[in-house]
């Protein structure tokens, strides 16, 4: 079987993969361009999902399975893949620990004035007036899209004695949330939040879900954190909310356009923290993703078990 990856993981992962399956033909390329010719007769494709086009799928006549080592699939030609009957799995579930730690880190950075601390250290300034610094203790966090990642965030937030409000499609309870609202009642939840964390995927239902009115009803001290997908809110809407003082701070890891242009106003604002879509990235990211690949590859080759993270191509997740 020929398996082609459109990126190169660490040598450790490459060697482990080849050792586990010595009879299989693995090819690891740096980019989709370098892998293009190999994909044409590949049986399995391993990708981040951002580099696959309908034309590539059309030419990959032997393709049986696409393993996407991320969770988002919005950039993939799912209709064409579905028409071909190609199986797709993703790395859903491996993000919860790093993304939860990122969220807590960013909340602490805001309340404990992390940017200012860094500045006075660089200036070698012995400044000790931090009377405006806040604490997470007793604050309320609203987690919009409280699934696996949101549950991990909620669990950590509880360690800081925070109140947790969850929002999901149906309002079904979450073991770590004090209360949970359906998405139809999101406005009631937002009015209570000191921190609003969006972990929503990109779907027809979530695109530009957050509008001007949502930021208007948030607390003026609220911090908005987006680690889900960039198209849950328009950049212009969030920018206006910041400039009008409708919220106090925004932490943005995902954007409508990525990479974020260097000329974008977000870069210049002290009360906006920009990170380049890295909330899930740690040294353990790809090892966890390849563990899912190994399991599914074994099932594909007849080993007893069920596929992990099999994607419903009609629903897009």
My answer on whether 270 and 143 are in the same domain is yes
My answer on whether 164 and 233 are in the same domain is yes
My answer on whether 63 and 170 are in the same domain is no
Looking at residue 74, its pLDDT comes to: 83
pLDDT single digits (tens) 208-242? 999 999 999 999 999 999 999 999 999 999 999 99
Peptide bond into 92 cis (omega under 30): no
> What's the gap between Cα 217 and its chain centre?
26
- CA distances 49 to 46, 149, 221, 287, Å, are 8, 20, 37, 17
Active-site hit among 95, 214, 229, 249: 229
My answer on whether 139 and 180 are in the same domain is yes
My answer on whether 158 and 147 are in the same domain is yes
Cα–Cα distance measured from residue 184 to residue 175, given in angstroms and rounded to the nearest whole number:
21
- Residue 125 inside a domain? The answer is yes
- Residue 307 inside a domain? The answer is no
- Residue 66 inside a domain? The answer is yes
288 is catalytic: no
The C-alpha angle 133, 137, 142, rounded to 5 degrees, equals: 105
Q: What CATH number has the domain bearing residue 142?
A: 3.40.50.720
Residue partners of 131: CB distance under 8 A and separation at least 6: none
pLDDT single digits (tens) 84-105? 999 999 999 999 999 999 999 9
> What's the gap between Cα 181 and its chain centre?
22
Q: Give the structural domain span for 73.
A: 2-93+284-300
Looking at residue 250, its pLDDT comes to: 98
Cα–Cα distance measured from residue 218 to residue 230, given in angstroms and rounded to the nearest whole number:
19
Please state the domain count of the chain: 2
Please tell me the pTM assigned to this model: 0.89
My answer on whether 113 and 241 are in the same domain is yes
- Residue 313 inside a domain? The answer is no
258 is catalytic: yes
My answer on whether 55 and 115 are in the same domain is no
Looking at residue 235, its pLDDT comes to: 96
229 is catalytic: yes
My answer on whether 64 and 135 are in the same domain is no
Looking at residue 317, its pLDDT comes to: 78
My answer on whether 66 and 112 are in the same domain is no
My answer on whether 252 and 118 are in the same domain is yes
Residue pLDDT tens, the chain, 317 long: 999 999 999 999 999 999 999 999 999 999 999 999 999 999 999 999 989 999 999 999 999 999 999 888 888 999 999 999 999 999 999 999 999 999 999 999 999 999 999 999 999 999 999 999 999 999 999 999 999 999 999 999 999 999 999 999 999 999 999 999 999 999 999 999 999 999 998 888 999 999 999 999 999 999 999 999 999 999 999 999 999 999 999 999 999 999 999 999 999 999 999 999 999 999 999 999 999 999 999 999 999 999 999 999 988 77
Cα–Cα distance measured from residue 146 to residue 204, given in angstroms and rounded to the nearest whole number:
18
Looking at residue 316, its pLDDT comes to: 79
Active-site hit among 277, 281, 288, 295: 277
- Residue 176 inside a domain? The answer is yes
My answer on whether 84 and 173 are in the same domain is no
- Residue 311 inside a domain? The answer is no
My answer on whether 71 and 12 are in the same domain is yes
């Amino acid at each position: 079987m020929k398996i082609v990856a459109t990126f190169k993981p660490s040598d450790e992962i490459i060697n482990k993969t080849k050792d586990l399956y010595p009879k299989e033909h693995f090819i690891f390329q740096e980019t989709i361009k370098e892998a293009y010719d190999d994909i044409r007769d590949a049986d399995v494709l391993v990708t981040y999902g951002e580099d696959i086009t309908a034309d590539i799928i059309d030419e990959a006549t032997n393709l049986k399975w696409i393993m996407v080592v991320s969770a988002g699939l919005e950039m993939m030609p799912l209709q064409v893949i579905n028409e071909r009957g190609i199986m797709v799995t993703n790395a859903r579930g491996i993000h919860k620990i790093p993304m939860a730690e990122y969220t807590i880190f960013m909340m602490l950075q805001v309340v404990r004035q992390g940017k200012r601390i860094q500045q006075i250290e660089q200036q070698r300034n012995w400044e000790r007036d931090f009377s405006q610094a806040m604490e997470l203790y007793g604050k309320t966090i609203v987690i919009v899209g409280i699934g696996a990642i949101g549950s991990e965030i909620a669990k950590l937030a509880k360690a800081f004695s925070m109140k947790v409000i969850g929002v999901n499609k149906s309002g079904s309870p979450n073991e770590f949330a004090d209360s949970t609202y359906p998405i139809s009642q999101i406005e009631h939840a937002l009015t209570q939040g000191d921190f609003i964390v969006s972990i929503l995927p990109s779907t027809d239902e979530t695109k530009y879900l957050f509008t001007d009115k949502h930021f208007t009803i948030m607390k003026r001290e609220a911090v908005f954190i987006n680690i889900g997908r960039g198209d849950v809110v328009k950049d212009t809407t969030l920018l206006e909310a910041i400039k009008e003082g409708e919220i106090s701070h925004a932490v943005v890891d995902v954007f409508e356009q990525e990479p974020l242009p260097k000329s974008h106003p977000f870069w210049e604002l002290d009360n906006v923290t920009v990170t380049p879509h890295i909330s899930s990235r740690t040294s353990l990211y790809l090892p966890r993703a390849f563990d899912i690949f190994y399991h599914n590859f074994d099932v594909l080759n007849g080993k007893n078990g069920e596929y992990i993270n099999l994607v419903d191509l009609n629903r897009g997740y």
